[in-house]
Structure 1
């Protein structure tokens, strides 16, 4: 699998889109900073200017080129023939997307620091100030980034699954974008509609998308999710494994 991973990383590194699109993340972060104002300086720093959503959207766009576009145009076929196994191809693509996700989160933190060196759109912050969970602000930023990395890995597993089930790049992007923007609201609707016991319905996969937002705004989102941070974390990890295994199952049985 090392050879396949090296090949996937090489392809990702030599594509212009994955790196140019990071400028979109910077633009989004600046817009969020301007929209929220200087009153929420600490919260903006903790959440890296609410970069979670844009990172997920970037993963959907780039991830679709890694998976579904290769299915759509048949370029996956020579990869499988040259590889020792389908599992090597699949997990090389998954690891590549995860590493790109990690890079995006590091970039978001770096951009956050840069935006606060000269606080034009944000009020100056004291990085050692105690903020959420009785932790320094800088620790809050690292912890929130780690939590969001787990949430975005759930999205990656969904990208893998939908890409292995649907060959159309456009459809894969549309479905996952809808999940990102509407998943949390859909979970809330299911709980409010009382379609089943809330103790069971609250464990639906869409509810796990609340993990990051609940971590930095527990009082508001705990009422909506009906789960604790630890429960959301457990559910997110479990669903990530389940979706990833289903994606591999679909990939291994896919006809090319």
Structure 2
């Protein structure tokens, strides 16, 4: 397993998608800096990074797996390593670790951009919505990373199912911009079934904001602990389904 992990890490670091993901994060945070009023809310959400990191991950995760088939390197990969499970897990861990790297990058960008745009205006240890600004920032990015575990499993499952990066990316964008609204509307439409509907996968998107905004629990109908556990469980379920499809996909 360690050998497979080293190989996938080396491969990922030498692919353009890793750099492109970082560039997208940089461009989107800069865009938010130039087009939005900088306030405490902007800072705790890392200039919109918590919304873009999952989108980047679903695109990167799908591309990282599909390029093996596009470049025909999957044949050599399977020849060198007879265990498909090790290959799959290694790729999963590499992409998930990349999401952590993006989150760390978002923290650094937030500090830098706040220093350049609102120097000294907001104190990181000042309280805002029950926590310090810094704690809010870290909690929101922690939620984004947990959601990325869900997203990696989803992207791997989708790329094995539809075999098209563009389709997977489109699904990721739809989830990012309409998933929460659709989930909320669904529960409002069928209030008697909220006990079941609150566990729908679209509801997991709330984790990127609910950890610092308790009012979001009224929309998700889940506690923070329930939301974290459900998000991880869905990530595992999607990951297992993706592995099942990977094992049966023709080379």
CA displacement, residues 199-233 of structure 1 (integer Å, 9 cap, x when unaligned): 111110110111112223332x3332122222211
Partner of 2:69: 71
- Quote the Cα distance in structure 2 between the aligned partners of 1:196 and 1:89: 44
Partner of 2:112: 114
Checking the alignment, whether the CA contact within 8 Å between 1:32 and 1:50 is kept in structure 2 is yes
Checking the alignment, whether the CA contact within 8 Å between 1:69 and 1:167 is kept in structure 2 is no
Checking the alignment, whether the CA contact within 8 Å between 2:140 and 2:209 is kept in structure 1 is no
Partner of 1:25: 25
- Quote the Cα distance in structure 2 between the aligned partners of 1:181 and 1:226: 19
Checking the alignment, whether the CA contact within 8 Å between 1:60 and 1:177 is kept in structure 2 is no
Show the 5 A alignment for 1:70-219: 70-120=68-118, 124-133=121-130, 135-194=131-190, 197-219=193-215
Q: Using the TM superposition, name which of 230-239 and 100-109 deviates more.
A: 230-239
Checking the alignment, whether the CA contact within 8 Å between 2:21 and 2:60 is kept in structure 1 is no
Q: Which runs of 5+ in 1 are unaligned?
A: none
Indicate which of 237, 247, 251 corresponds to 1:252.
247
- Quote the Cα distance in structure 2 between the aligned partners of 1:170 and 1:139: 36
* SS class of match (1:216): coil
- Quote the Cα distance in structure 2 between the aligned partners of 1:23 and 1:196: 45
- Quote the Cα distance in structure 2 between the aligned partners of 1:72 and 1:176: 21
Q: TM-score, normalised by structure 1?
A: 0.89
Q: Which runs of 5+ in 2 are unaligned?
A: none
Q: Using the TM superposition, name which of 202-211 and 174-183 deviates more.
A: 174-183
